[in-house]
Structure 1
Amino acid sequence: MNVHAVKMWKTLKLLWSKTNRWHRALFIFAVAELNLIPGGQVGFHCNDPALSHPYTGDTVNWKWLMATTIFIPFAVLLLVERKQCPGDTAKRQALVWYKEYLFGFLLNLTIVQTLKLIVGSPRPHFFDTCGPQEATTCVESDYVPSYTCTKAHWLKQSNKSFPSGHTSLAIHAGVFIAYYLYRRGESLPGRVIRVVQGVCVVGALVCGASRVWDRRHHWWDVLAGALLAAPVLLYTIRNLCKNFDCRQPKDEQTDGATFTHNGIVNTS
């Protein structure tokens, strides 16, 4: 390794040491989302019916998805914790877990966008929105390994089918809320808890299914998005949110006060 490379490596290590987990995840997300590095490109078979569907829009668009998966978990956390803890303690506890939820959400989104960039899989409406030049000259079912889109608006979206980001984020939010209510919703009526849990999980599944019937993703993209959400969700709940467990061991409790994992005090 030459002197220039050693200096560059030391500089990169220094910069990395000055960042936190949020900076790193946001940086990777920005690189993938803005296509700052060359991505993969899966070719297509001429006249492939699986890629010949018209683009008809989204049943669940990105604005609705982001609004529901970002704000509803916070509302649920705050309402439930107010039932569990007095005053400002509830707000602080809800904010601590919500911050960890958001980081898990960002991690999920970053992984999805990175995979989309690496794989470069054509969407079901590929021919309609990409209009590849090569599709006008290929015959029968010839395989075209590389192509050039002719529709500028869709240049960076027609080959972002795998995996489904809608599905992954919807599962992340829906199951997070359902499990949180299972762990912390004992102060609420059981019927209310079950209804909210059911709505969250069913809503996530419907969101995933809509990606198939809208012809925005293939079924395997949706399945991959759901499977991808599982380990990220497990990490978020078990490692970041500590399984929503507020109590410390007995030797750390004093004078009837229970210290939480995050330094919040609940008085008995």
Structure 2
Amino acid sequence: MFENSTTEGKQNTKVLQGKRRQDEVQLQEGEENHLQHYLRCRFHQIKTVHVALVVGVATQLEKLWTPSHTVISCHDPDIRRIYHTSTVSHLVLALVVTIIPFSMMVMLEWACPPKNTPQPHKPSLRKTLVRAFVYMWDSGVGTVFTIFFINFIKIAVAEARPNFWDVCRPNLTEAQCDQVYVHVTWRDCTNPHQLPHPQVVDSMKSFPSGHSAIAVFSAVFMIVYIHRRLWRVCSYLLAPWLQLAWASWAVFCCQSRIWDSKHHWWDVVAGGMLGAFGALITVHHLCRWFDRRERVQDCEAPEDGTHATPASLTPSATYYLIPGSEGDGYKSTPQQEDSE
């Protein structure tokens, strides 16, 4: 009797030791796979950052590239308007498309938590700020690529602005002006207002409107975001008013470019269309239409210190960060469509 119990005890001990070794091997494999996924994710993030930085530097370097010439008619009234300062300056434009959207996203992400958040709890400030920052980062990447494309068109087309004659005042003879069209370079400008050289060169970059593109980009981006966050989720009344405010901002900024004699009407229309297209591409490919369980890179271990199992780290799995979910960490779920 005693020998049988001893034998059973030894067998149970061996079984427990075997399970422990199996669990240790599984945990080690999970840690290795998690580390591989972490490094792979960081590599993709670094590539994205580098691409954005390269495009941003290229966009700034484009200011050093000048159109070879522009073609004008000396008697064209569309290029003889008076020079005015911009109603919407570059600083105002930058503040409106960065500070206001980020502040609005922080408030909406906190006030309208995901449906699976236990009531009356709200998401933590850290998660709210992180999610708003991620959306603003996507918006910034889309804006940079849009500006790069627009500046490329500006240099290729080299259209004179409505205030070109007043800004440049080219040194042309009567014989040259008697021609139907005349080629003018920045070296022909007398610069009567003593403006900086970049502004004189900029008078040859009318088509399309960069201000209009950025304003419409921000408006479309925020209109879609407000629709996803407020419409049929938190408020039926607040959403359309906020969307109307963003649409009004875009219309005002576009119209101001015509009032200030900075652009022709077709420049504004083309810039607005490019901005709307860039915003929709950004929302679709980067923000994934602001889905609550949008796909993110699982680059950090869960806060509770647990490691994902090898099965959950297979390439067929899609990683989602679900704010407010139980455990407040990462989950691995099959790729599927999820709506608000």
TM-score of the two chains, using structure 2 as the length reference: 0.65
Q: Does 1:239 align with 2:285?
A: yes
Q: Aligned residue for 1:216?
A: 262
Name the aligned partner's letter for residue 90 of structure 1. Answer: T
316, 325, 328: which one aligns with 1:267: 325
Name the CA shift for 1:28/1:262 in 2 (closer, same or farther; >3 Å).
farther
1:228 aligns with 2:274: yes
> Residue 145 in 1 paired to residue 173 in 2?
no
Shift >4 Å, 4+ stretches: none
2:221 & 2:287 partners in 1: Cα distance?
A: 10
Give 1:223 shift: 0.8
Partner of 1:121: 159
Instruction: Confirm or deny that 1:71 pairs with 2:71.
Output: no
Query: CA, structure 1 residues 19+106, in 2 after alignment: closer, same or farther (shift >3 Å)?
Result: closer
Instruction: Please state whether the residue corresponding to 2:237 is helix, strand or coil.
Output: helix
Aligned-pair CA distance for 1:163: 0.8
- 1:182 aligns to what? 227
Within 5 Å, give how 1:80-119 maps onto structure 2.
80-85=108-113, 86-87=123-124, 88-119=126-157
> In the alignment, does 2:59 pair up with 1:29?
yes
**Residue 134 (structure 1) aligned with residue 180 (structure 2):** no
Letter in 2 for 1:54: I
CA contact (8 A) 1:54 1:128 kept: yes
Task: Return the offset for 1:74.
Answer: 0.6
Distance 2:285 2:220 in 1: 16
Change (3 A) 1:55 1:135: farther
* More moved, 84-93 vs 214-223: 84-93
Q: Distance in 2 between matches of 1:73 and 1:18?
A: 22
Amino acid at match of 1:193: A
Q: Cα gap change, 1:265/1:191 in structure 2, threshold over 3 Å: closer, same or farther?
A: closer
Q: What displacement does 1:267 show? A: 1.2
Identical residues among aligned pairs (%)? 28
Q: TM-score, structure 1 length as denominator?
A: 0.82
* Aligned CA-pair RMSD: 2.5
The whole-number CA distance in structure 2 between the counterparts of 1:146 and 1:220 is 22
CA offsets 1:17-58 (integer angstroms, 9 cap, x no match):
8972212211220221232xx534321011211101011222
Q: CA deviation at 1:136?
A: 5.7
Aligned partner of residue 70 in structure 2, secondary structure: coil
> Equivalents in 1 of 2:99, 2:208: separation in Å?
24
Unpaired stretches in structure 2, ≥5 consecutive residues: 1-46, 114-122, 296-317, 327-340
**CA deviation after TM superposition for structure 1 residue 175, in Å:** 1.4
Q: CA deviation at 1:264?
A: 4.7
**Residues 67 and 204 in structure 2, CA contact (< 8 A), matched pair in contact too:** no
Structure 1 unmatched runs, 5+: 1-16, 250-259
Equivalent pairs, count: 241
Q: Secondary structure at the match of 1:189?
A: coil
SS in 2 for 1:43: strand
Q: Distance in 2 between matches of 1:158 and 1:180?
A: 35
Q: CA–CA distance in 1 between the matches of 2:68 and 2:266?
A: 18
SS at match of 1:20: helix
Q: Is the 8 A contact 1:120 1:162 kept in 2?
A: yes
Q: d(CA) in 1 for partners of 2:133 and 2:322?
A: 11
Cα displacement string for residues 168-194 of structure 1 (whole angstroms, at most 9, x for unaligned residues)? 000011111111010012554322221
Contact map agreement 2:160 2:206 (CA 8 A) in 1: yes
Following the alignment from structure 2 to structure 1, what is the Cα–Cα distance between the partners of residues 320 and 243?
26
